[in-house]
C-alpha cells in the first residue's frame, strides 16, 4: 500500500449544461413522444437514450450509459456528495465508457446503500456481472456501507472513495471498510480537511489485499478531484489493473 502520494493539482471541474429542443411543422404529423429528462446537465440525445427512473425506496433520477463497445460486464455506479445530484458525474461518464465500463449515476435522497442495491439489480438486468462503486464524500461512505453488506445482487469489483468522511449518519465507514476485501482506491486533497485525515484513517482500517491511498495537493472536494492533476488517470489505471472491464 502506498501510504501517501502528493500530486500537484491543476484545472477545475468543467460543467456541462446544454438544453436541446425539437419541433415539427409537417401537416398531420404524429405527436412527439415526451422527451426524457436532461436533469439540467445532459444533451437531449443522451437523455433520450439513458435517463430513467431507478426503482429504489422511491423513484430516483438516474442515467445509464453502456460502454462504447456495448454489452459491458462491469459497471461503475456513481454516488454523489451531500446536496449534489447525478450531474456531478456526467462530465466523466465517457472516460469510463471508453475504458469499457457501463455507467450508472443517480440522485440519492438519503437511502444510499438501498439505492446502490437498486442500481445493481437494474444493471444485472442489463447483463452486468460486477459493479465498481465510486462515491464522493458521503457517497463514498455510503458505498463502503453497501459493499460491506452481504447478499447484494452483484459482486463488488472495487470501491472508490473521494473525500469521504469516516462516518456519515448511520454509515460507519471505518467499520465497513474493515470488512471489504475488494480493491480500494481512497483519495482526497491535503487542504480539504478533515477529509484528507479521514482518508488516511479509512486506509489504515482497511484490510483488503489491494488498497491505494492518494493524497493530492489542493483543497477540492469529491468529484472535483477528478479533473485535477493525475487523479482521473490514476483512478482509471487502478481500475484497469484491479477491476478490469473485461
pLDDT digits 0-9 by tens, 65-98? 999 999 999 999 999 999 999 999 999 999 999 9
Find residue 210's DSSP bridge partners. Answer: none
Residue found by looking up cell 462515491 in the block: 135
Grid coordinates representing 191 are: 487542504
Residue 230 lies in a domain: yes
Residue 6 lies in a domain: no
Residue 153 lies in a domain: yes
CA separation for the pair 165, 172 (Å, rounded) = 9
The pTM for the full model equals: 0.86
Q: Which of 197, 215, 163 is nearest to 7 (CA)?
A: 215
DSSP string across 152-200: -SS-EEEEEEES--SEETTEEHHHHHTT--S-EEEEEETTSTTHHHHHH
pLDDT digits 0-9 by tens, 203-226? 999 999 999 999 999 999 999 999
CA separation for the pair 76, 52 (Å, rounded) = 17
In this prediction, residue 80 carries a pLDDT of 98
pLDDT digits 0-9 by tens, 112-155? 999 999 999 999 999 999 999 999 999 999 999 999 999 999 99
Residue 75 lies in a domain: yes
CATH number (domain holding residue 156): 3.40.50.1820
Q: Which of 199, 91, 90 is nearest to 137 (CA)?
A: 199
Could you list the residue range(s) of the whole structural domain that residue 83 is in?
62-242
Q: Is the pLDDT of residue 34 over 80?
A: no
Least confident span in 12-16, 33-37, 55-59, 101-105? 12-16
Residue 96 lies in a domain: yes
Residue 93 lies in a domain: yes
68 and 99 in contact (C-beta within 8 Å)? no
Residue 23 lies in a domain: no
Find residue 55's DSSP bridge partners. Answer: 59
79 and 222 in contact (C-beta within 8 Å)? no
Number of structural domains (the chain) is 1
Residue 109 lies in a domain: yes
Q: Which residues contact 65 (CB under 8 A, 6 or more apart)?
A: 46, 49, 50, 93, 94, 97, 102, 103
Amino acid at each position: 500500500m502506498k501510504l501517501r502520494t502528493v500530486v500537484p493539482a491543476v484545472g477545475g471541474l468543467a460543467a456541462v449544461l446544454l438544453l436541446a429542443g425539437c419541433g415539427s411543422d409537417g401537416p398531420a404529423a404524429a405527436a412527439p413522444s415526451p422527451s426524457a429528462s436532461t436533469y439540467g446537465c445532459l444533451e437531449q440525445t443522451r437523455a433520450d437514450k439513458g435517463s430513467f427512473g431507478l426503482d429504489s425506496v422511491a423513484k430516483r433520477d438516474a442515467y445509464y450509459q453502456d460502454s462504447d463497445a456495448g454489452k459491458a460486464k462491469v459497471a461503475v455506479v456513481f454516488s454523489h456528495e451531500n446536496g449534489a445530484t447525478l450531474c456531478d458525474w456526467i462530465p466523466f461518464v465517457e472516460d469510463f465508457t471508453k475504458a469499457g465500463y457501463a455507467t450508472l449515476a443517480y440522485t440519492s435522497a438519503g437511502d444510499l446503500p438501498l439505492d446502490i442495491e437498486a442500481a445493481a439489480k437494474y444493471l444485472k438486468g442489463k447483463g452486468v456481472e460486477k459493479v465498481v462503486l465510486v462515491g464522493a464524500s458521503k457517497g463514498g461512505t455510503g458505498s463502503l456501507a453497501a459493499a460491506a453488506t452481504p447478499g447484494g445482487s452483484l459482486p463488488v469489483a472495487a470501491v472508490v472513495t473521494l473525500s469521504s468522511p469516516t462516518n456519515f449518519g448511520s454509515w460507519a465507514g471505518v467499520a465497513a471498510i474493515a470488512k471489504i476485501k475488494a480493491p480500494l482506491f481512497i483519495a482526497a486533497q491535503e487542504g480539504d480537511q478533515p477529509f484528507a485525515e479521514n482518508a488516511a484513517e479509512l486506509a489504515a482500517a482497511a484490510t483488503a489485499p489491494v488498497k491505494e491511498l492518494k493524497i493530492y495537493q489542493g483543497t477540492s472536494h469529491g468529484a472535483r478531484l477528478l479533473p485535477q492533476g493525475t487523479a482521473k488517470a490514476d483512478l482509471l489505471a487502478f481500475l484497469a489493473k484491479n477491476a478490469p472491464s473485461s
